[in-house]
Amino acid sequence: MAKSENQKLKLLYILKILQEKSDEKHPVSTKELIDYLDREGIAAERKTIYTDIHALEDFGYPVKIRKGKISGYYLESREFEMAELKMLADAVLACKFISQSKTKEIIDKLSSMTSVHEAKQLQRQVWVERIKNAGEGILENVDRIHMAIMDHKKIAFTYFSWGTDKQLHARRNAKIYRISPFFLIWKDEYYYLIAYDSEAAQTKYYRVDKMKDISILEEKREGSDVTGAVNPADVVKRDFSMYAGEQETLTLTFPEDMIGVVIDRFGKEISLRKREEDLYSARVQVSLSPIFYGWLTGFSGKIRILQPESVKEAYLQYLKDAISQY
C-alpha cells in the first residue's frame, strides 16, 4: 500500500482517538481506527494497526484489548482517575472566586483528560450552595501575585468593595495600594493575600477577588521580619473569616460531642484535657473579633470560654449588644 503524506503522524492520530473515544466500556475497533485514519488521509491496514498498538505499549501507554461481543482497544488508565476528575470538577463548581465562564472553561479542559463518554459525567450540574460573584481574571491575578512573591517584589493594585448598587467600587478614591506580598491563603472559599503595608507598618489581609489592575513593581518587598515570619497555618486556625484582631490564648470547655467541631476548627495538634464526666477543655489561639464571637454563639453555649475572665466579659458584652439591637 502506498504511504500517504500524513503517514508519519499515524501513531499520533491513533493515540488521539484512543484518548478521546476509548474507555473500558467503549473500546475502539481496528476497523474504526482504519476508518478514522482514512478520514485524516492516512492509509492503514489491520496488520499495521497491530504493529502501531504494540509500539504505543512499548513506549508505556496502557493500551489494552477487549475481546468478546464488543471488542477493540482502549486506554486502561490515564493521568487522572475518573473519581479524581469528578472531585476537581466539583471543587471548581463550588469556588466563589472562579467566574461562571472560567468554570465552564476549566471543566471543559478537565473533560478533555478522559474519553468523551466519561466526560459527560463531568458536565453534570452539581448542586452546590454557592454564589459565583467573581469577575474575570482572578486566576491570572493569583498567578501574578505568586510571581511577585517568588521574586520578592512589591505589587500595586486598586482595592474594591461592594456598593449598594451591587457593583464593585474602588476604595479610598481609587487609591493605588503598594504592598509587599508574602503568602496566599485559600480560606472560606476565597483567596486571601497576607502582605506587609509599609505605610501602616503592619501585616494586612486582602481578598484577591477584590484586587484589580495588579502590577509587579521593581521595588524589593519589605517586612520580612514581621510578615515574613508569620506562619500561614496558624493564621488559618486563629483568624475567623480572615478577620484579624487582638490575639489571645483561650481555654475553651465543651462536651465530648463537640470535640470534632473544635478539632475541625483548630487542628488536631490541640491538647485535650478531661475536666469532668463528658466535659473537656482545650487551649487555643484566637484573633478576637465579632466573627469569633458569632462562631461561639452558633453552638448555643455548648462551647464556652473558661479563661481568661477578660475575654468572657467581652463575649458577654457582645451578646448584650447583639440583643439590644432587637
Give every CB contact of residue 209 below 8 A, 6+ residues apart in sequence: 96, 97, 133, 134, 135, 138, 190, 191
Task: Give the pLDDT of residue 129.
Answer: 45
Task: Give the pLDDT of residue 182.
Answer: 96
What's 210's DSSP letter?
G
Is the pLDDT at 134 greater than 70? The verdict is no
Give every CB contact of residue 169 below 8 A, 6+ residues apart in sequence: 160, 161, 162, 163
Is the pLDDT at 214 greater than 70? The verdict is yes
pLDDT in tens, 151-182: 999 999 999 988 888 788 999 899 999 999 99
Mean pLDDT of the chain: 87
Task: Give the pLDDT of residue 128.
Answer: 47
CB contact at 8 A, 284 and 270: yes
Instruction: Check if CATH label 2.30.30 holds for domain 151-230.
Output: yes
67-71, 108-112, 120-124: segment of lowest average pLDDT? 120-124
16-30, 69-83, 115-129: segment of lowest average pLDDT? 115-129
CATH of 7-75, picked from 3.30.390.30, 3.40.50.300, 1.10.10.10, 2.60.120.260, is 1.10.10.10
- Single-letter code of the amino acid located at 139: L
Which range has highest mean pLDDT (48-62, 76-90, 102-116, 119-133)? 48-62
**CATH code for residues 234-324:** 3.30.70.240
pLDDT classification of 4: cutoffs 50, 70, 90: low
Percent of the chain with pLDDT strictly greater than 90: 52
CA distance 140 to 191: 12
Cα-only R_g, the chain:
28
Is the pLDDT at 127 greater than 60? The verdict is no
Is the pLDDT at 106 greater than 80? The verdict is yes
Residue in 285, 288, 243, 244 with CA at minimum distance from that of residue 265: 285
- Of 121 and 213, more confident: 213
> What are the boundaries of each domain within the chain?
7-75, 79-136, 151-230, 234-324
Query: Which segments of the chain does DSSP mark as H helices, in order?
Result: 10-21, 30-39, 46-59, 82-94, 100-111, 116-119, 138-151, 232-238, 259-266, 290-297, 309-324
CA distance 286 to 289: 9
Task: Give the pLDDT of residue 1.
Answer: 46
pLDDT in tens, 262-287: 998 888 888 899 988 889 999 999 98
Mean pLDDT of 207-223: 94
Task: Give the pLDDT of residue 89.
Answer: 86
CA distance 130 to 127: 9
Task: Give the pLDDT of residue 2.
Answer: 47
Residue in 8, 17, 9 with CA at minimum distance from that of residue 75: 17
Query: pTM of the predicted model, to two decimals?
Result: 0.64
Task: Give the pLDDT of residue 5.
Answer: 63
Mean pLDDT of 74-92: 86
Residue in 301, 306, 300 with CA at minimum distance from that of residue 275: 306
Is the pLDDT at 223 greater than 80? The verdict is yes
